[in-house]
Amino acid sequence: MDTPLLIAGLGNPGSQYAKNRHNAGFIVLDELHAAHRFGPWKVKFDGLLSEGMLAGRKTYLLKPQTFMNLSGDSIGPALRFFKLPLSALVVVHDEIDLAAGKLKVKTGGGDAGQNGLRSITATLGPDYRRVRLGIGHPGEKSRVTGHVLQNFSKEDIEWLAPLVKAMAEAAPLLARDDDAGFMSKVALLLKPPANKKDA
């Protein structure tokens, strides 16, 4: 792959938001950054940018520091600066319309009320890849904001920690544009080991 990849994780800047459900994108990028030995974070494009390699492909990690609803103001300039096509953008974000702990990768589509996606789509158009990490729906529309801005609960961490680790391990498949392979590998890594029967 000659075209570099830009993986953007969505979240809100500041330590008070660090463990929020809405910051799932930042949490995944931090794990990816550590697991694949990316370079130091640098302040660029109203965000934090790091460079590294995934599956032999030059890859940039970007955590916009604009607050969620202005994510496009960071990602748009970065994509344009590196002269990347929209197909080279992968956005990792929390998704209330997916059950907690579920993972889906898709290209294009609507923003399902996710303000970060709305901002990116308004800036660049909808045809980018999205890695959607399910955080579950609180059941009532009026409770959505409180739900996403709450910290992941202790119960959440039990599925979140292994999922994030598996996503980081499977990330080279994203760099190969193999979204189905990425989802399969994550599912495989999360499978409990089969009980070995006594011979």
Edge-to-edge strand order for the sheet containing 129-134?
Answer: 42-44, 47-54, 57-64, 5-9, 89-95, 129-134, 103-107
pLDDT of residue 80: 97
Nearest in space to 175 (alpha carbons), one of 52, 40, 77, 72: 52
pTM of the model: 0.95
Query: Mean pLDDT across the stretch 154-171?
Result: 97
Q: What pLDDT does 100 receive?
A: 96
The answer as to whether 143 is a domain residue is yes
Domain of 32, in residue numbers = 5-190
Residue at 195 is within a domain: no
Could you report the per-residue pLDDT of 46-63, keeping only the tens digit for each?
A: 999 999 999 999 999 999
Summary mean pLDDT of the chain:
95
Whether pLDDT at 166 is above 80? yes
Tokens matching residue 64:
């916009």
Answer yes or no: is 114 within a domain.
Answer: yes
Is 174 a residue whose pLDDT tops 90? Answer: yes
pLDDT tens for each residue of 23-82: 999 999 999 999 999 999 999 999 999 999 999 999 999 999 999 999 999 999 999 999
Residue 199 falls inside a structural domain: no
User: What CATH number did the domain enclosing 118 receive?
Assistant: 3.40.50.1470
Q: Establish if 154 belongs to a structural domain.
A: yes
* pLDDT for 194: 67
The pLDDT value recorded for residue 197 is: 56
High-pLDDT (> 90) share of the chain, %: 93
pLDDT tens for each residue of 102-111: 999 999 999 9
Is residue 33 annotated as part of the catalytic site, yes or no? Answer: no
- Indicate the pLDDT class of residue 1, thresholds 50, 70 and 90: low
**Catalytic member of 22, 36, 93, 147:** 22
Q: How many domains are there within the chain?
A: 1
What angle, rounded to 10 degrees, do the helices at 115-124 and 72-81 form? Answer: 40
Quote the pLDDT of residue 199. 46
* String of DSSP letters for 79-145: HHHTT--GGGEEEEEEETTS-TT-EEEEES---TT-HHHHHHHHHH-S-SEEEEEE----SSGGGHH
Residue 196, domain member (yes or no): no
The reply to whether 198 falls in a domain is: no
pLDDT number for residue 120 = 97
197 belongs to a structural domain:
no
Using alpha carbons, list the distances in angstroms from residue 114 to 18, 63, 167, 192: 18, 16, 21, 32
d(CA 59, CA 61) in angstroms, rounded, equals 7
